[in-house]
């Protein structure tokens, strides 16, 4: 009877793990990849989930360290393009914005085969410190969004006391966004007419690509045991297209730009097991290859569109300078009765910033509850509270490239909170 009790508590309590994970991870991570629905024991199951994250990153002691102007605005490699001296502006700013993370999926199983289709938004970022801070030459607003459409299937067969599951699938991914920052130019503007011109430059971009996943899982349902190892490939955005708008700066009409970049590959190990009647322990380790996102350079489609198009390093670049990310999580779940179960977890995420940017280490605590009024419907609610550790951002050289050359600032330990909810229906 112990085996049956463990398995009964597994379905609801273990499902809370996915709700507690999203918070304020490094790099451009939002919801990441999640295939937990594939393991649902029902023949057909559909799930919808949403998470709202509130990071409270505050920038302080901001200093403009590039007070020059130059003939090639908006380019991070040209000397003298700092937007002028901004040190008279505010020395503090908000370094983050709240965001939603949605996810929907449907899974169907026939005999020992299961397939799942899901929509998610794995990557993203949103910063909006505004125009009136001393680092406006680094950022006024940056927003990155993504859409991911995936089909994942598995086949399981008996192996020892449990079942071995082979997992494979593919996904199509779209990434898009923009960046605005203050730039300045004196090209063609005589001193008698004011000399320097400054204004907001804007880069818009979009790209798409395909990826694949493969993995293995071993399950012993009667003990509520499951171990899975899944690899998600990189997504090559070989044809990122966009526009660069410098019309506020020198009257140049917006012109087309292009670039390329790969979104990271991800490896994740998850283990869950019943440890006593109605009790479950779980943990995970995830590695994300954020180090391949350094400088994302953009080049002019028409070399004659603008004088800066002749620069060998591109007309502009998104500076990221990330290192690889690691996320480690562990917790316990408990089934209180046939309708209610709960779970608690603690997660550490290694920051991806290396002296430039604000993606430092994060520690979070998650608490969640699941209500199952009957065997066909399940409601979940979870909350997360945590700390994003402090640090500083400024000029640094990574791999021979300069980053953070426009502004210097620091930040203390900041609070991050999130709330997640989902509903699952089985047929």
**pLDDT of 360-383, one tens digit each?**
999 999 999 999 999 999 999 999
Q: For residue range 331-343, list pLDDT tens digits in order.
A: 999 999 999 999 9
Q: Which residues pair with 369 in a beta bridge?
A: 342, 381
Q: Please state the length of the chain.
A: 427
pLDDT at 87 over 80: yes
pLDDT at 72 over 50: no
State how far the Cα of 107 lies from the Cα of 147, in Å rounded to an integer. 19
Per-residue pLDDT band at 319 (split at 50, 70, 90): very high
pLDDT at 195 over 50: no
Section 339-351 average pLDDT: 94
The encoded tokens of residue 23 equal 């918070």
pLDDT at 248 over 50: yes
- Which residue from 167, 162, 244, 230 is spatially nearest to 200, judged by alpha carbons? 244
Section 158-187 average pLDDT: 91
Q: What is the pTM of this model?
A: 0.91
Least confident of 53-67, 92-106, 173-187, 409-423: 173-187
pLDDT at 8 over 90: no
Section 197-222 average pLDDT: 93
Give the chain's mean pLDDT.
88
pLDDT at 23 over 90: no
Per-residue pLDDT band at 306 (split at 50, 70, 90): confident
Q: Which residues pair with 237 in a beta bridge?
A: 261
Percent of the chain exceeding pLDDT 90 equals 78
Q: What is the CA radius of gyration of the chain?
A: 24
Per-residue pLDDT band at 6 (split at 50, 70, 90): very low
State how far the Cα of 2 lies from the Cα of 105, in Å rounded to an integer. 32
DSSP reduced 3-state for 105 = strand
Percent of the chain exceeding pLDDT 70 equals 88
What's 265's DSSP letter?
A: P
Token pair 């993203």: residue = 124
DSSP reduced 3-state for 205 = strand
Residue 222, φ and ψ in degrees, nearest 5: -70, -20
Token pair 């990574």: residue = 398
Q: How many helices and strands in the chain, by DSSP H and E?
A: 2, 25
pLDDT at 355 over 80: yes
């Amino acid at each position: 009877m112990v085996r049956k009790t463990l398995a009964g508590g597994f379905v609801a309590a273990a499902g809370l793990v996915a709700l507690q994970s999203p918070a304020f991870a490094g790099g451009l991570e939002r919801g990441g990849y999640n295939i937990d629905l594939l393991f649902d024991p029902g023949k057909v199951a559909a799930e919808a989930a949403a998470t709202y994250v509130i990071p409270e990153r505050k920038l302080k002691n901001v200093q403009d360290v590039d007070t020059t102007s130059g003939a090639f605005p908006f380019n991070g490699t040209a000397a003298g393009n700092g937007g002028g001296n901004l040190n008279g502006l505010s020395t503090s700013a908000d370094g983050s914005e709240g965001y939603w993370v949605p996810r929907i999926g449907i899974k169907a199983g026939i005999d020992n085969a299961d397939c799942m289709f899901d929509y998610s938004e794995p990557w993203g970022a949103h910063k909006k410190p505004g125009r009136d801070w001393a680092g406006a030459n680094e950022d006024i607003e940056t927003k990155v969004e993504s859409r991911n459409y995936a089909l994942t299937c598995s086949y399981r067969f008996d192996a020892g006391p449990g079942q071995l599951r082979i997992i494979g699938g593919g996904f199509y991914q779209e990434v898009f966004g923009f960046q605005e920052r203050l730039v300045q130019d004196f090209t063609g503007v005589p001193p008698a007419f004011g000399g320097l011109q400054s204004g907001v430059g804007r880069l818009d971009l979009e790209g798409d690509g395909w990826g694949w996943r493969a993995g293995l899982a071993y399950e012993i349902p009667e003990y509520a045991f499951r171990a899975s190892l899944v690899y998600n490939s990189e997504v090559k955005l070989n044809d990122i297209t966009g526009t660069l708008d410098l019309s506020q700066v020198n009257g140049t009409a917006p012109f087309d730009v292009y670039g390329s970049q790969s979104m990271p590959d991800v490896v994740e190990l998850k283990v869950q097991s019943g440890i006593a009647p109605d009790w479950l322990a779980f943990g995970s380790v995830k590695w994300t290859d954020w180090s391949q996102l350094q400088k994302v350079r953009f080049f002019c489609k028409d070399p004659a569109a603008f004088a800066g198009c002749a620069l060998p390093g591109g007309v502009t670049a998104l500076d990221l300078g990330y290192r690889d990310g690691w996320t480690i999580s562990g917790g316990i779940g408990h089934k209180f009765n046939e309708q209610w179960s709960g779970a608690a977890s603690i997660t550490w995420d290694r920051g991806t910033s290396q002296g430039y940017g604000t993606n430092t280490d994060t520690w979070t605590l998650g608490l969640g509850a699941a209500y199952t009024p009957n065997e066909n419907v399940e409601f979940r609610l979870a909350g997360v509270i945590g700390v994003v550790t402090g640090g500083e951002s400024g000029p640094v050289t990574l791999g021979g490239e300069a980053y953070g050359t426009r502004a210097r600032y620091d930040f203390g330990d900041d609070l991050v909170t999130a709330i997640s909810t989902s509903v699952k229906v089985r047929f």
